[in-house]
Amino acid sequence: MTKIARVESFRLSAQRDYEGTAGLRAAGAPGSPGAQATPGAPRDTIRPATARQAESPRALTINTGRNLCVYPAQAEVLLVRITTDDGLAGWGEAHAPPIPRVAQALIEDLFAPQLIGRDPLAIDATWDALYASMRLRGYGSGVMLEALAGVDIALWDLAGKLLNQPVYKLLGGPYRTRIPCYHSGVPGNTLDERIAQARQIVDLGFTAMKTSIGRAPLDEDLDGVEALIDAVNRHAAGRSGGKVDVLVDAHGVYDTRSAAEAGRRLERLGAGWLEDPLPPEDVDGYAALCAALDIPVASGETECTRWQFNDKLRRRASDVILPDICRAGGITEGKKIALVADLYNVPWCVHASISTAVHLAAGLHLIAATPNALLCEYPSSFKTSPLANALLKEPILPDAGFLNVPDGPGLGITFDEDALAAHALDPYEPVR
């Protein structure tokens, strides 16, 4: 019987200005004409001077930025490779910025000793054993589940290669193999730059895109969204007579009252959804917001297990859930999360951000095999990041706003070994 013989992980890094390319800055670049810095504010809050900014923000506009997470200065990922005793290898990814060494230590010290000698096809039983190994200590989310996700995805890739089938077929699909996606991130340091980029995104065939708010006063943020929605829909109407859904991500910076104010205005503007308006811990606030607004409230990139999602869904605290397959325990747990959401008639979307094509491919296979899938996130970084399509022999490219699920065995992707080795921070050799 084939057995697992080796478990490895590799940190990869590449210089890339994630926040600038994702359009998360409210800002003109430091030193650009007309840029001004808020005293004591971090670099990413530098903004072009406007008449509105000359006024003091309204006292009741709550947006302290205290719930924003830290992004690394460079793109960082952690890939996992599991090899059988007959030399077949499967690849996974643990969503690990900005601390990939922590997930790497978990894989090396905790998971690898339990995996060696196991049947690579006993994926569900393996997931349960690995999860239980730290259950007593309360490790039910965070880096523990990110590390477990990397191992789990590698096992599914390996299983597909062993059985010569794409992962989505092993999961019981497909419901679909051509997946609608949205362009995540509207690059640019000024509103004019972002509008120009958004028009280019429409020209690429996307009918949905996501922009960010939360780093400027509420009125300023929403004025920018209004201008963006108006510009892209005028552009889309001129091209094809169509309409573009502009999704809005607030990164958890508001209180319930400010989030409700933002949601009501976004409803009037015709935005597609309001994502993460509140800190993830405020489940009751999310439930109140979902009840008060007609615009869908999307959340879930921080939740990692079916139990966490069940609690949120039972309380009607999310209209759309956004599990991150490389954070939420991998494909095994991801499918269970999707099916729990289906019990509540709630759709789910793939969340993807700083990552490689392993992350995107894993999400595509899962979305193909679940009935309540809605959209797949396509990060703007995939067009430029040396850790995304640049690592593949055959890139995963959008086509008129859709992504085709890779159809080869396993995840259906093949690395360019030279490109992979060039970005590896750990000793790397191909499997021979």
Nearest to 364 by CA among 385, 392, 334, 394: 334
386's tokens: 């040396």
Confidence (pLDDT) at 19: 44
Confidence (pLDDT) at 245: 97
Domains of the chain, by residue range, sit at 169-416
CB neighbourhood size of 273 (10 A): 23
* 3-class SS of residue 432: coil
CA distance 14 to 12: 7
* 174 prior amide bond cis, ω within 30: yes
Instruction: Dump pLDDT digits (tens) for 342-360.
Output: 999 999 999 998 889 999 9
Q: Which residues of the chain have pLDDT under 50?
A: 18-21, 23-55
Q: Are 158 and 84 in contact (CB under 8 A)?
A: yes
Q: Any idea what DSSP says for residue 173?
A: -
Place of tokens 């991801």: 334
Stated pTM of the model:
0.91
Confidence (pLDDT) at 59: 66
Domain 169-416 classification at class level? alpha beta
Confidence (pLDDT) at 57: 60
* 427 prior amide bond cis, ω within 30: no
Confidence (pLDDT) at 29: 36
* 98 prior amide bond cis, ω within 30: yes
Instruction: Dump pLDDT digits (tens) for 372-385.
Output: 999 999 998 888 88
Confidence (pLDDT) at 384: 84
CB neighbourhood size of 421 (10 A): 15
CA distance 154 to 128: 16
Confidence (pLDDT) at 324: 97
398's tokens: 């959008």
